[in-house]
Structure 1
Amino acid sequence: MKFNYNMPTKILFGPGKLNSLKKEKLPGKKALIVISAGNSMKSNGYLDRVIEILNSKGIKAVIFDQILPNPVKAHVMEGAKIAVREECDFVIGLGGGSSIDSAKSIAVMAKNPGDYWDYISGGTGKGKPVENGALPVVAITTTAGTGTEADPWTVITKEDTKEKIGFGNADTFPVLSVVDPELMLTVPKKLTAYQGFDAFFHATEGYIAKIANPFSDLYALKSIELIARYLPRAVKDGNDLEARTQVALANTLSGFVESTSSCTSEHSMEHALSAYYPDLPHGAGLIMLSEAYYTFFASKVPERFISMAEAMGVNVDLLPENERPMAFVQALVKLQQDCEVDGLKMSDYGIKREEITLLADHARETMGGLFTVDPYSLSLEETTEIMKNAYK
Structure 2
Amino acid sequence: MKKFQYYIPTRVLFGQGALGGLHKAGIPGKKGLIVISSGKSTKANGYLARVEEQLELAGCEHVLFDKILPNPVLRHVEEGAQLAKEQGCDFVVGLGGGSSMDAAKAIAVMATNPGNYWDYSGGKTGKNLPLACDPLPIIEITTTAGTGSEVDPTAVITKEDTNEKCGLVNEKLYPAISVVDPDLMMTVPPMLTAYQGFDALFHAVESVINKYENPMGEMFALKAIEYVARYLPAAVKDGSDSEARGYVALANSLAAYFMLCTSEHSMEHALSAYHPDLPHGAGLIMLSMAWHGHFVKNHACDDLYIRMAKAMGKEDASRAEDFLDLLHQLQVDCGVENLKMSDYGVTKEELPSLVENARESMGKLFSMDPAALSDEDVLRIYEESYR
**Residue 92 of structure 2 corresponds to which residue in structure 1?**
91
Return the alpha-carbon distance in structure 1 between the equivalents of residues 258 and 352 of structure 2. 30
> Counterparts of 1:317-328 in structure 2 under 5 Å?
317=317, 324-328=319-323
Quick one: which of 270, 273, 280 aligns to 2:271?
A: 273
1:63 correspondence with 2:64: yes
Return the alpha-carbon distance in structure 2 between the equivalents of residues 172 and 144 of structure 1. 19
Return the alpha-carbon distance in structure 1 between the equivalents of residues 91 and 50 of structure 2. 18
CA deviation string 1:270-295 (max 9, x = no partner) = 00000000010000000000000010
Return the alpha-carbon distance in structure 1 between the equivalents of residues 156 and 4 of structure 2. 24
CA deviation string 1:35-65 (max 9, x = no partner) = 0000111000010011111112210000000
Quick one: which of 323, 327, 334 aligns to 2:329?
A: 334
Q: Secondary structure of 1:257's match?
A: coil
**Residue 346 of structure 2 corresponds to which residue in structure 1?**
351
Quick one: which of 283, 286, 289 aligns to 1:288?
A: 286
Return the alpha-carbon distance in structure 2 between the equivalents of residues 122 and 192 of structure 1. 30
> Counterparts of 1:12-51 in structure 2 under 5 Å?
12-51=13-52
- Conserved? CA contact 1:306–1:316, under 8 Å: no
- Conserved? CA contact 1:118–1:126, under 8 Å: yes
Return the alpha-carbon distance in structure 2 between the equivalents of residues 57 and 149 of structure 1. 21
Quick one: which of 345, 367, 389 aligns to 2:384?
A: 389
Normalising to structure 2: TM-score of the pair? 0.98
Q: Secondary structure of 1:148's match?
A: coil
**Residue 310 of structure 2 corresponds to which residue in structure 1?**
310
- Conserved? CA contact 2:36–2:68, under 8 Å: yes
Deviation of 1:339 (Å): 0.2
**Partner amino acid for 1:333?**
H
What 5-or-longer segments of structure 2 have no aligned partner?
none
Deviation of 1:70 (Å): 0.5
**Residue 355 of structure 2 corresponds to which residue in structure 1?**
360
Return the alpha-carbon distance in structure 2 between the equivalents of residues 76 and 254 of structure 1. 26
Q: Which moved more, 1:199-208 or 1:48-57?
A: 48-57
Deviation of 1:263 (Å): 0.2
CA deviation string 1:312-336 (max 9, x = no partner) = 011335xxx5xx1011011000000
Return the alpha-carbon distance in structure 1 between the equivalents of residues 239 and 121 of structure 2. 37
- Conserved? CA contact 1:37–1:66, under 8 Å: yes
CA deviation string 1:49-91 (max 9, x = no partner) = 1111111221000000000001100000000000001010000
Return the alpha-carbon distance in structure 1 between the equivalents of residues 58 and 10 of structure 2. 21
**Partner amino acid for 1:59?**
C
Deviation of 1:133 (Å): 1.4
- Conserved? CA contact 2:232–2:248, under 8 Å: yes
Deviation of 1:5 (Å): 0.6
Return the alpha-carbon distance in structure 2 between the equivalents of residues 120 and 24 of structure 1. 31
Deviation of 1:31 (Å): 0.1
**Residue 190 of structure 2 corresponds to which residue in structure 1?**
189
Q: Secondary structure of 2:150's match?
A: helix
Q: Secondary structure of 1:4's match?
A: coil
**Partner amino acid for 2:320?**
P
Q: Secondary structure of 2:129's match?
A: coil
Percent identical pairs in the alignment equals 58
Return the alpha-carbon distance in structure 2 between the equivalents of residues 141 and 189 of structure 1. 17
Return the alpha-carbon distance in structure 1 between the equivalents of residues 57 and 229 of structure 2. 40
Quick one: which of 362, 365, 373 aligns to 2:368?
A: 373
Normalising to structure 1: TM-score of the pair? 0.97
Q: CA RMSD in A?
A: 0.8
Deviation of 1:22 (Å): 2.3
How many pairs are equivalent?
A: 384
Return the alpha-carbon distance in structure 2 between the equivalents of residues 92 and 369 of structure 1. 29
Return the alpha-carbon distance in structure 2 between the equivalents of residues 330 and 356 of structure 1. 27
Q: Which moved more, 1:49-58 or 1:130-139?
A: 49-58
Return the alpha-carbon distance in structure 2 between the equivalents of residues 316 and 353 of structure 1. 40
**Residue 130 of structure 2 corresponds to which residue in structure 1?**
129
Return the alpha-carbon distance in structure 2 between the equivalents of residues 117 and 316 of structure 1. 48
Q: Secondary structure of 1:206's match?
A: helix
**Partner amino acid for 1:307?**
R
CA deviation string 1:232-255 (max 9, x = no partner) = 000000000000000000000011
Return the alpha-carbon distance in structure 2 between the equivalents of residues 304 and 316 of structure 1. 14
- Conserved? CA contact 2:31–2:89, under 8 Å: yes
- Conserved? CA contact 1:316–1:327, under 8 Å: no
- Conserved? CA contact 2:123–2:164, under 8 Å: no
- Conserved? CA contact 2:148–2:256, under 8 Å: yes
Return the alpha-carbon distance in structure 1 between the equivalents of residues 368 and 375 of structure 2. 15
CA deviation string 1:131-190 (max 9, x = no partner) = 201000000001000011110111100000000001120110001000000000010111
- Conserved? CA contact 1:224–1:311, under 8 Å: yes
**Residue 116 of structure 1 corresponds to which residue in structure 2?**
117
Deviation of 1:357 (Å): 1.1
Runs of 4 or more off by more than 2 Å in structure 1?
none
Return the alpha-carbon distance in structure 1 between the equivalents of residues 354 and 316 of structure 2. 36
